[in-house]
Amino acid sequence: MTDGASTNRTFANMLFTGNPINTNWVFQDIYFHQHSMCFIQDIMHVFKKIRNNIESSKLKNKTGPGRYLLLNERCIVWEHWEECFKFNFQSGFSVHNKLSEEHINLTPSSKMRNELAIQVLNKDMLYLMKTYQRTLQNPENLASSIELLENTSQLVDIFSTINQPIASLHDKKFETLDNVNKFFLSWENDVDKSIMHVSSKNLITSETRTDINSSIVGFVSLCKLFLTGQNCINPGYLNSDIIENLFGQQRGLRNGMNTNPTLAQYGPANTAIILGQCTVSNKSNSSNRASFFSATTPCPLNTTRNKSQRSKRRGIRL
């Protein structure tokens, strides 16, 4: 599992002899050919990429016509989300309780936070946009944005809920994932075949499209390999939040925001993270969803250092 960095894409090309889509993102272990492995893009990074593609989709920019997404001959632009945000607080009773200015006016820092991307692509956002659509004189303007949200909200529901394990290949979630994957493939084919529009301006980026396919098809392939006997898999935990949380603590809690700690710094900091620090870092983009490690003590050992965090202490597990 990786994010969409260029180095990781190069690594993926080394693992597959041809197009990985043709092999459903499954490759053979080069040391043990009877062992199959799956290459899966981190779905949380995919959500951020989809949101970023929408955020950069505008009918107009400072220099003239903008780059905008087009689905079924209707535009998908960030202005639709901005209008819904204003409508959300218009009556004093919000439809989407978690929507805030931070979700709409993005900064380089907020673009990295998983939860902000999830909350503008989930069912709450879908319900808000449908509610706003009913107040418009021309509701068809939002039809394509709503269709996109209908698909992204299903992905969010599957991969962001930690209490819905899958124990059988007959689970209805696989049908949902197949339909979502077909939606993105159909969207790509429609724009590619269009004479009037081009994928570079009217479609999400090719990297994002590939990552969506990897996340969905790769996960299904993993389930086909893994779901035998009494096994089960929880899609809500299929992400790299735990690793990013560890790195966030390494950089922010012990080493003075040092992005490249030495070996002498890294080892003792790991011990401090495991035994002496809260296991959740607010400095990583995984927020407070990632939880790992366990010690017999219910709170940090170094109490003098963490007096200010006394109210936030919580049990931890390994």
Question: What is the 3 state secondary structure string of the chain?
Answer: CECCCHHHHHHHHHHCCCCHHHHCCEEECCCCCCCEEECCECHHHHHHHHHHHHHCCCCEECCEECCCEEECCEEECHHHHHHHHHHHCCCCCCCCCCCCHHHHCCCCCHHHCHHHHHCCCCHHHHHHHHHHHCCCCCHHHHHHHHHHHHHHHHHHHHHCCCCCCECCCCCHHHHHHHHHHHHHHHHHHHHHHCCCCCHHHHCCCHHHHHHHHHHHHHHHHHHHHHCCCCCCECHHHCCCHHHHHHHHHHHHHHCCCCCCCCHHHHHHHHHHHHHHCCCCCCCCCCCCCCCCCCCCCCCCCCCCCCHHHHHHCCCCCC
What pLDDT shows up at residue 283?
A: 45
Tokens (6 digits) for 186 = 């159909």
What pLDDT shows up at residue 240?
A: 83
What pLDDT shows up at residue 316?
A: 47
CB 277 within 8 A of CB 253: yes
Mean pLDDT, 10 residues at a time, the chain of 318 residues: 86 88 91 90 94 89 71 92 91 85 91 92 96 92 96 95 88 95 94 83 91 95 88 88 77 66 81 65 51 48 49 51
What pLDDT shows up at residue 296?
A: 46
What pLDDT shows up at residue 49?
A: 95
What pLDDT shows up at residue 24?
A: 94
pLDDT tens-place string over residues 259-279: 677 888 788 888 877 776 555
What pLDDT shows up at residue 17?
A: 85
What pLDDT shows up at residue 293?
A: 47
What pLDDT shows up at residue 161?
A: 85
What pLDDT shows up at residue 244?
A: 78
